[in-house]
């Protein structure tokens, strides 16, 4: 397939067609289960499966649309996801009225500037703006209000939410620009015009999403089939050793099988997939601990069957920065 539209070339289209085939298969299997499993004790499982598959259809369609539209629209999508994830995180967090001005800075100034630097391909600025300058500025802004009760906790929540929901997640869309550095060197990549990310970068982004989100799905399936021994029962009883091992190893094999869409050999793709799946699991575990602490089941209800944006992006926020920097360090 030689058709290239936006960021999708033949490789990207084959990946997406494969994802559609998987979704069609899952939809058929779920329909069959709906006919064969009539016992009421299975109704909750079937409803959950239907909601998850329907949500995946929407998410795949959205991803296809933005990749076809190009790098600028894809960056805008991730900026919107960061905004919504940040909103969910702050909504369940112990902030006060005195933190309002710091939050205004975080939502309406720091987040847009950060994603503008991604769009402009300013890697040096993108890498340090939030972890250095925003990290130091926000507690100063909070201190100027004069409210000291719970100051450390409130400030930590604001800094942590910004790091995870914006800085970490933005590394996924920054993958669109990595092939420029891999082919031409870092200086050319930083000076390349906005919106010049190519199909190679889209393939890296799709590889990461398929592997990490695939690991989540496979862990869910392995857990339903064989899950017995919880890893951290008080944090997430559904995360079992059986689901963890089965899901991570299955997704690692999937990543190795997709080596042809990347600049990696099959074993390098498998190794990066394995590391990404481990980090994805850690992200889900940490976010589960946060939800337990705040006494909520989900971060929100934005995505039917999945909860909020952060419930779907939790694994990606931990996996994306590590995958980005490993790829940049060893293959640029």
Q: At what angle do helices 43-69 and 10-36 cross, to 10 degrees?
A: 160
56: its two tokens: 């995946």
pLDDT given for residue 190 in this prediction: 55
Q: What is the pLDDT of residue 187?
A: 41
193 has pLDDT over 70: no
Instruction: Please say if the pLDDT value at position 26 is more than 80.
Output: no
Per-residue confidence (pLDDT) for residue 200, from 0 to 100: 83
User: Which residues are paired to 5 by β-bridges?
Assistant: 8
Give dist(CA 266, CA 290) in Å, integer.
36
Q: Any idea which of 92-101, 110-119, 249-258 has the lowest mean pLDDT?
A: 92-101
What sign results for the dihedral spanned by CA atoms 220, 224, 229, 235?
positive
- 3-state SS track over 190-232: HHCCCCCCCHHHHHHHHHHHHHHHHHHHHHHHHHHHHCCCECC
**Can you tell me the distance from the alpha carbon of 262 to that of 11, in angstroms, rounded to the nearest whole number?**
10
DSSP 20-72: HHHHHHHHHHHHHHHHH--SGGGHHHHHHHHHHHHHHHHHHHHHHHHHHH-HH
What confidence category does residue 25 fall into, taking pLDDT thresholds of 50, 70 and 90? Answer: confident
Please determine, for residue 189, whether its predicted confidence score (pLDDT) is greater than 60.
no
The β-bridge partners of 230 are 240
Nearest C-alpha neighbor of 150 from the set 93, 101, 107: 93
pLDDT (average), residues 79-92: 94
Q: What is the pLDDT of residue 22?
A: 75
3-state secondary structure of 95: coil
- Point out the least confidently predicted range of 19-23, 98-102, 165-169, 181-185: 181-185
pLDDT category of residue 51 using cuts at 50, 70 and 90:
confident
| 3-state class (DSSP) for residue 79 | helix
Residues in the chain: 332
Out of 32-41, 147-156, 212-221, 309-318, pick the least confident: 32-41
Q: How confident is the model at residue 184 (pLDDT cuts 50, 70, 90)?
A: very low
Judged by average pLDDT, the poorest of 202-206, 226-230, 301-305, 310-314 is: 301-305
- Tell whether the model's pLDDT for residue 1 goes beyond 60: no
Q: In terms of C-beta density within 10 A (0-12 exposed, 13-18 middle, 19 or more buried), how is residue 308 classed?
A: buried
Q: What is the reported pTM?
A: 0.89
pLDDT exceeds 70 at position 330: yes
pLDDT digits (tens, 9 = 90+) for 247-302: 999 999 999 998 988 889 999 999 999 999 999 999 999 999 999 999 988 888 88
DSSP string covering 280-324: HHHHHHHHHHHHHHHT-S-S-SSBTTTBSHHHHHHHHHHHHHHHH
Rounded distance, CA 85 to CA 66, Å?
19
User: What's the rounded mean pLDDT across residues 188-207?
Assistant: 72
**What pLDDT, on the 0 to 100 scale, is given for residue 245?**
95
Cβ contact 314:81 at 8 Å: no
């Amino acid at each position: 397939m030689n058709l290239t539209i936006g960021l999708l070339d033949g490789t990207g289209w084959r990946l997406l067609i494969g994802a559609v085939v998987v979704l069609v298969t899952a939809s058929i299997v779920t329909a069959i289960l709906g006919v064969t499993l009539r016992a009421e004790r299975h109704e909750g499982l079937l409803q959950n499966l239907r909601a998850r598959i329907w949500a995946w259809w929407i998410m795949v369609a959205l991803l296809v649309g933005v990749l076809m539209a190009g790098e600028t629209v894809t960056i805008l999508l991730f900026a919107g996801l960061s905004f919504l994830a940040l909103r969910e995180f702050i909504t369940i967090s112990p902030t006060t009225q005195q933190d309002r001005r710091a939050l205004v800075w975080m939502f309406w100034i720091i987040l847009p500037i950060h994603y503008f630097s991604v769009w402009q391909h300013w890697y040096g600025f993108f890498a340090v703006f939030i972890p250095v300058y925003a990290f130091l500025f926000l507690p100063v802004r909070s201190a100027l209000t004069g409210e000291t009760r719970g100051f450390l906790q409130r400030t930590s929540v604001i800094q942590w939410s910004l790091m995870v929901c914006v800085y970490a997640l933005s590394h996924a869309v920054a993958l669109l620009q990595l092939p420029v550095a891999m082919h031409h060197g870092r200086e050319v990549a930083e000076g390349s015009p906005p919106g010049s990310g190519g199909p190679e970068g889209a393939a890296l982004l799709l590889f990461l999403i398929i592997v990490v989100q695939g690991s989540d799905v496979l862990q869910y399936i392995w857990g339903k089939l064989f899950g017995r021994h919880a890893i951290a029962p008080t944090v997430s009883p559904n995360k079992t050793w059986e689901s963890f091992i089965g899901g991570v190893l299955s997704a690692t094999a999937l990543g190795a099988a997709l080596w042809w869409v990347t600049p990696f050999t099959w074993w390098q793709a498998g190794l990066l997939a394995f590391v990404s799946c481990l980090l994805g699991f850690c992200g889900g575990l940490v976010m589960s601990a946060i939800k337990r602490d705040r006494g909520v089941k989900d971060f929100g209800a934005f995505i039917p069957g999945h909860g909020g944006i952060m419930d779907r992006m939790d694994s990606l926020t931990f996996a994306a920065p590590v995958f980005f920097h490993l790829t940049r360090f060893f293959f640029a």
